Structure 1
């Protein structure tokens, strides 16, 4: 028996299949489980809980089972963690290695392998674990390089290496090749026909496909066709017969296009489903149809990102129209609010609400509304009265928030009871489900109270006063300030502007922060 432990010690057993095990994916977990079972039997341990995972060691956050285990270790649920080797815990970044080591150290949890015991509160064991982490990271980088080099070689040979077969193809497991899926090909041909022959837009094509009940590429439950999917399929080079690698890269939470020099594009071994002429026509038409410039997407119009449809709640867009078609001036135009064309009914129809109108009509209403609202905000007495009403609602919210906190504490106590073996799994899951339902009901009640008492405003009284005292509404709506600057200031003060128009009847409702 290992020193400091006994046969009833609480042990967590963690097994993970990593990338380097891919060639032996069927047997890796079984081999590791057998190896650890023999070790536990030999040492006489009887109180164990197993955790199994198939995941890369690239990042802890991509390993949900291990994240859960780490939380339990942090809470002191186990006296030791059993693994085949130290690198089963982590061989990712130094930050991940440090996080694991500190958790084990602070909770005084041992790490057991069939060949060694690690006590991170022992200086020599800590040094050894750090050394093995460095070796593991080096090995992982080497594996990653081999995988990338393998993918590059495969792409150069015309093979697809980026996940599942793109629409409208399928993967033939017998021939191990990408082949055309005839049913999906019918849908793709319809898309080409609607776009190139019928001159339909991507949004209208998506609606048509949804009406006909065609399954979208994602295959997810309740998924619908969207215009971005149609657009991506139309301009895809894979359907032209090419394969690509290193087309995009991750920067933080964003996916960005790589420099063309970094991309690898070669002729694929799969059969194209469109001609080069069709592809060029698609790109040409898309370039002609680019209705909104990159500047417009970044707030070129004063109400960009603020104006929404009062019927469906979707965002509204704008269009420019020259005041005099014969003039050569590019800055002499009207700006109109477009009719709403957001998809509704699970993508089967367009909203088509709201008759178009000039932006200046909406701006005039916003200007007058902001003048009135600023006066109300700066009227201290009136603001205090409104604040008292909010505070009365806040008391009701506080009651529900206490219920949420107390119930969360109850769940934590329940977790402890289950970990300590005082209740079985069935009772644990039933009780936890009931408590989680109680939290859900309390959160829904908070949402209702906020709505009833106008408590959606999330800024403090002082912040609100400061914002409205600093804004000069006359200057904001003058020609002295740039459009982008106006848009940014309005977004600090206004959450949304709902626009609804039926015939000559127009309704505009502004929600302020």
Structure 2
């Protein structure tokens, strides 16, 4: 009896990789070939298929993992070609051992492989060639992506909401999605928190067709792609960033750089960490200073409470460290006296910034960038010399890898510093300064219009929202049973009740 006649049950393993540009049509073609092959041979078969890179770990390749767990059910497995099993020679050999130990053959449309016989050598050679081919392809793709990013092309998979990848490989705006992106940024710039923005987007869908989440909104608000820039991080095998390519004006912007910066300031303080739930509490707004008051002694945030006996009385609660609270009306009197200085203060600072020469500061920043670029060049040469020393036997592998790691860390830090300096250079122009101060003054004027209206819950919440756009924190302290106010503006006010409160307003 021939080997093929001994085979009755076959596990069919089909794998395609999106990284190689393969799609669902390729998977359908492979499935059709496998079904026809098994049907013609009279085999009973079960299909295991997945879309994943052949270089991924076995643990990540669920269908292959399931097939190996079921291997005792089959006399053979069918693959379109042996490189579909794995592109990593280590895993190829692991799979081969499992098959050989269970006396399971490998079938392809062209050949049957007996891994316990003479075919093992050929299979091993094909595995080694496939692994080498993958390394060459991966290296070529990485180089191609790097060059593409430097040309301002999108090389990072699915484009973000608001864009598609055009024929020239650059991002192209989708107007319907861009309007949604602008809406999200406008909400954030107006002081709405991420959770509130999610609520306002009820019924709208992400690019993948899902409802918006806190994480999705946070990712959009921190994505510089919307300002027309391409940020591409090159990583090593361990996922560590070794180089960052930043290309400005690579495509049409949906959001201006000024609004992006404004939004960054607006959400600053709402988060204490990347997506850590914020520094802002939930619940009804009892005071327009909600979430803004912090104890000057210990730094803890201070909340408000209602009086159990007087329906409309609101009090600032005592701090855990012992700092006593105060009735809200007296606190607001002190706060508004100090806040009145802000509009004039910002106008004065605006005029000073516009009439003073920015050239000295800008020249200094440009000089710093030039020096860092020189340092980058020197470090790149050091990295090249370290590699040559390793190849010449001067360094052992451990010494070379340590030197390489240290130099690459320095290069990454310098690259990030250069990007920060370039942003500072852009922010020194008069248009940017004018826009920033104008926005702050407009928000203060908007606050006063609301503050002078009837005291309703709606206006209270709006006043609180606007204050969070202008003020980062207000530090509070009780002094000698009296209430005083000190701030960067050096204000000092005595409240009507004769108490002293010490307030320090930290503006954004």
Normalising to structure 2: TM-score of the pair?
A: 0.49
Larger radius of gyration: 2
Task: Report the TM-score, using the length of structure 1 for normalisation.
Answer: 0.49
